[in-house]
Amino acid sequence: MVHAEYRVNFRDFLDSMKTYRKVAKGAAFMYYFDVWIVPLLGLLAALFALATYLQQEERVWSDWSWLCYLGIALMIVTP
């Protein structure tokens, strides 16, 4: 069995904590973006397209129907 020791000084500790904070902030942003923002935008896009379809706005529906499909795809793809 091999025993290895590593002494950490305070400066190394502070540097590692700064790096950890940067990574944690990025992970938190991506979590909120993927779990809340993208599905909400997808839902709004799908609701907009559905509302124009139900109001029988044929020209608007034919021009913006891709938005409905994109919204549904975003809600399915993201967790």
The domain locations on the chain are 29-77
pLDDT, residue 47, reads: 82
List all residues 6 or more positions away from 73 whose beta carbon is below 8 Å from its beta carbon: 42
Of residues 67, 74, 66, the one with CA closest to residue 42: 74
Residue 79 has pLDDT above 70, yes or no: no
Q: What residue type is assigned to position 60 of the chain?
A: V
Whether the Cβ atoms of residue 41 and residue 77 lie closer than 8 Å to each other: no
Average pLDDT over residues 9-23: 87
What's the rounded Cα separation, in Å, for the pair 48 and 38? 15
Question: Which residues are within 8 A (CB) of 78 and not within 5 positions of it... i.e. 6 or more apart?
Answer: 34, 35, 38, 39, 42
Selected residue with higher pLDDT from 1 and 22: 22
- pTM given for the model: 0.53
pLDDT higher than 80, residue 16: yes
Quote the mean pLDDT of the chain: 80
Mean pLDDT confidence for 33-50: 80
